[in-house]
Each structure stands twice: as C-alpha cells, then as structure tokens.
Chains A and B, each alone.
Chain A
Amino acid sequence: MTQVDVRTPVPARKASPDKRRSRRSATLVVGCVLAGLIALLALVSLIWLPYATDDTSGGRLAGPGGGHLLGTDKLGRDLFTQVMTGSRIAVEAGLGSVLIAAGLGITLGVLAAFAQGWLDDTVSAFLDILIAFPTLLLAMLIVAARSATLGSAVLAIGLAQSAVVARLVRILVKRVLAQDYITAARTSGTSWSRTVVAHVLPNIWPTLVVNLALQFGLAVLAEAGLSYLGLGAPPPNASWGRMLQEAQATFTTAPVGALAPGILLVLLVIGVNLIADGLRDTLDPATRKRRA
C-alpha cells in the first residue's frame, strides 16, 4: 500500500529561464528531426527510388514485406516509392507556396504600409477580400484556367497565402514605422529604402519567419487537399493527397495505403509547426543574447 506523504508539499518548481530556453530548443530540435526526416525522403527520392513510379509489377494490394517495404496499391505500384515521391511533392509545394507568398506578400505588405488615405483603404479591402475567398475555390479557378499540375496548385496556394502574409506584413511594418528608432534613423539621413532594408525588415523578421513556417505547414495541407480532389500533380507522380484518395475505397482491407501518407503528412505539419514555435524564441535577440 502506498503511504500518503502529508509533510510540506514540495513547491512546484518554477522553470528557470535556462530551463525554458532548453525546452524551446528541444521543440526546435524535435521539429527539425520530423521535418528533416521527410526532407531526407524527398531528397533521396530525387536520386533513388525502390521502384519506378509507373512500375505495376508488384501484385495488387500486397501487404508490407516481400520486396515492398509498405506493400503495394490496387494497381500493384510500390507504396514506399509513392510515399517518397509524395514527400518530394509535399516539400516542393510547401517551399514553392511560401516563396510566392513571401515574395509577393512582403512586397505588397510593405507598399501597403506606406500607402496613405484611399490607397491604403483599397489595398486593405482587396487583401481582406482575397483572404475571405476560400483557397480551394481560388485554386480550382486557377487550375481550371491553366492545367492540373503541381505548378498550378502551388501558384494558387501561394497567391492565396500572399494575401495573408501581406496583411500581416502591413501591420508589422506600420508598427515598426511608428517606433522612435525609425524617426532617429530618418533624422540621421537614412533614405526610406535603406530604412526598410536595414531597420524595418530585420525587426519584423522574427514574427514573419514564424508565420512563414506556419504557412509552409498550411501549404502542405492545402496541396494534399487539392490533389485529393485531383487538382494537384498528375499521375504517375504520387502526391500524399491523391494516395489518400486512392486508398480510401480499400481502407478496410489495406489500411497502409492511407495510413502511410496520412502519418507522414501529420509528421511534416507537426514538425514545421514545432520549428515555428522554436524559432519564435530563438530569433529574439533579447533572449538569445542573455546567454552570453
């Protein structure tokens, strides 16, 4: 029988700043490991795949083992091969969308922050409308106008996200511009363009990069959603979204086909979110420098 200890309760130990920081960096490490694993799969898929993407020699819906690490799908294609190409497509979709979103969003956001009066109102209203517009609907329009390729999907996701990034950047820049050090820089003769590059962007960067990491995760999910609907990369390039869709009918008999891409998708998104969380603290020089 366990004895209940009735002596003075041990006070809950408060996390010291050092403890908190190490926990933060642990978040970063776990995030990097998860996302890095997927990135590694993606990189390896560029130079080596267990089977060709259109190799249907494996026998239908074979279970794991017997030359196929994760088994095969209903057409006899190797699932591990598909998961690997899927990783590549997911990483490409995330990076591509975030690049578009960052390039367009930061430019628009900075310009919008400097805009005055009616121009400011117009830009803000435009961004709000773009944000209110469902990403999937926008993507369908773009895919319909172009063709169902990974490029169209990435373009659509990137455009939709650039509105979100632009709105965030506009607010962040406006807040920084109101700071005394901007006026101080201006009084010493720093031009507007130089002020933006030297003072504004570095000061919005910590918040921005965390948001971009989150956008990466959202972009991966959005691409999976689009290819689930058949609007992503065309076959034989397996994307996780399409794998999920194809495995849906046979889920009860061959669950690996849906579980494998599903789990990897979750791991990548969680990994990227953990990175974002870890970056939040690491990028703040006030906490970073206190260690020294």
Chain B
Amino acid sequence: MTLLDVRGLTVRTTDGRTLVDDLSFSLARGERLGLIGESGSGKSLTTLAVLGLLPDGMTATGGIELAGTQIVGAPEKRLTAVRGRDAAVVFQEPLTALDPLMRVGRQIAEPLRRRTGLKGAELARAVAFALEQVRLPDPERIARAFPHEISGGQRQRVALAMALACDPKLLIADEPTTALDVSVQAEMLELIDTLVREREMAVLFVSHDLAVVAKVTDRALVLKDGRAVEKGEVRSLVGAPREDYTKALVASARRLESALDLRSTR
C-alpha cells in the first residue's frame, strides 16, 4: 500500500526560480528510500514540501499524497493533524533543532501529550520511555537537562525520540548524521535502522553521502539541481551507475574509501 506518493512535485520561488523540478517518487509502508544529492539539489525542500512546510516565498505544485491526505493546497488545520502523526522529521543540526530554552523532557512531552492525551506522572513515564528507546542512559537526568547541557550525539537521539514519539508512519531523516562525528554517526545509523525496523516505519533518508544512504536504505533517488537524475536499488546505483553525476558521486565516495583503506593498512 502506498504511504507517500509524490507526483510531479515542482517548487518555485516567487521570483520564478525553479528549485525542485517535476519530481516523482512513491514509498510504500515500511519501505525505505534515500534522497541523494549535493547542497542545493532540492532534497531538503522536498522533505519540507511533503509536510507542507515550505519556507515563505516558495510554492509547491503537483501532487503529494501522504497517508491519504493531499498535502499541496491543504488547509493549515489538516496539515497540523498530519504532521507528527503520519510523518515526522529528524533534522541535520540537533543543537538548533531543539528549543534552547526548553528542557529536553518537555520538548518530547509536547507532541506526546498532544497525540496521546497523557498527563502528569504518566506523561513523565512516557517521556522517560521514549528516551530509553533511543538508548539514552539516565533518561530522568536527560529529561531535566537543557539542550546545551548534553552532547551532540545525545541531542540527536533526543531529536529522534521526539520524531518517534507519536509513532509516525513515515520517518523523514534529513542528513541526521552529518553534524555528528564519525563514531557517533555509525551508532546513530544503527539506531535508526533498528528502531525503524521494529516499528515497521517507512523512511525517507536524505543525505549527500552515498555511503550513509547505502547503510540504511534499499532504494535511492539521485537529485541534481532539483531534478531526479537516476533512481534504483542502492546496490546497483553504486555498482553500475548510469548517469555521469551518479558516477561522479560514486567515484568520490570510492576515492574517500580507498584513501581510508590506505591509511588503515599502513
């Protein structure tokens, strides 16, 4: 069954520039899709458009159907109901994605309370459980902390806990590991992989890093300048890229890998 169906999505600015051009893809329940592309290729805009959250001065045309709701042109009230419940997002920069003046526990409690109607001690337990789910040690302490008091990796786990709090059908991960250092990256990918499998969630994984996408997703879509250049199984994209752009991406990933190999064998 189709969970997310994007048909001919086009995002334009008011001054007429086209940022995403006639993009189409679909995602079934429990399925995983990677969006690969360099900065400015329109991958983040696509994820925002899926939730009807394009920045001011940008308009989307085309069709986006998320769990049966037509997103493009939908009234704000219907969009608010969809967000968090049908799809939730983990952003790239965990420090700025958390409200600096709100304790971590309350930030997770907000969507939880809204969706489940829990209160008081039950809500606090649910928050602690959500933090445990993302393998955070000492959830009670973390819940009382402000975002600046915990580490970057912990922040991203909190952001993931927030996104998973309402048990969305689709998890949109927008470069969730880019801001983390390499050892934490691997843990984070592992965690997303496990949690999503347990919950049979669909994933839209956005990254500029082919290797990262290959770890989490089955299929991928390569974006360049707002256009889909190539799509297919990640394995075949890496093994036999057809388009020049994909080849360049794969080659650069290879170069990096071989450089790392050289160093480790030395």
Contact = CB atoms under 8 A, between A and B. Distances in A.
Interface of A: 116, 179-181, 183-192, 198-199, 202-203, 285-286, 289
Of B100, B146, B149, most buried by chain A (CB within 10 Å of CB) is: B100
- Please indicate which of the listed interface residues A179, A181, A198 has the most CB atoms of chain B within 10 Å of its own CB: A181
B85 interface: yes
Nearest to A283: B101
A198 to B, nearest CB: 7
Given A180-B93, A183-B91, A188 B166 contact: yes
Contacts of B87: 187
B100 A189 contact: no
B97 A180 contact: yes
Interface residues of B, number: 36
A184 B92 CA distance: 11
Given A184-B97, A188-B111, A286 B148 contact: yes
15 contacts: A180-B96, A181-B98, A181-B99, A183-B53, A184-B97, A184-B159, A187-B84, A187-B88, A188-B163, A190-B110, A190-B114, A192-B76, A199-B99, A202-B102, A285-B146
Nearest to A179: B96
B51 A187 contact: yes
B162 interface: yes
B111 A190 contact: yes
A181 B76 contact: no
Interface in B128-168: 146, 148-149, 159, 162-163, 165-166
B83 interface: yes
Contact of A188 (B76, B88, B101): B88
Given A181-B98, A188-B84, A190-B114, 15 more contacts: A180-B96, A181-B100, A183-B53, A183-B91, A185-B99, A187-B83, A187-B87, A187-B88, A189-B82, A192-B76, A198-B102, A202-B99, A202-B101, A285-B146, A286-B100
Contacts of B115: 189
A187 B91 CA distance: 10
Interface of B: 48, 51, 53, 56, 76, 80-85, 87-89, 91, 93, 96-102, 110-111, 114-115, 146, 148-149, 159, 162-163, 165-166, 172
Contacts of A180: 91, 93, 96-97
B166 A181 contact: no
Nearest to B108: A188
- Listed from nearest, the 4 A-B pairs whose CB atoms lie closest are A189-B84, A189-B83, A180-B96, A188-B84
Contact of A181 (B53, B83, B96): B96
A288 to B, nearest CB: 9
A188 B83 contact: yes
Contact of A198 (B51, B82, B110): B110
Contacts of A202: 99, 101-102
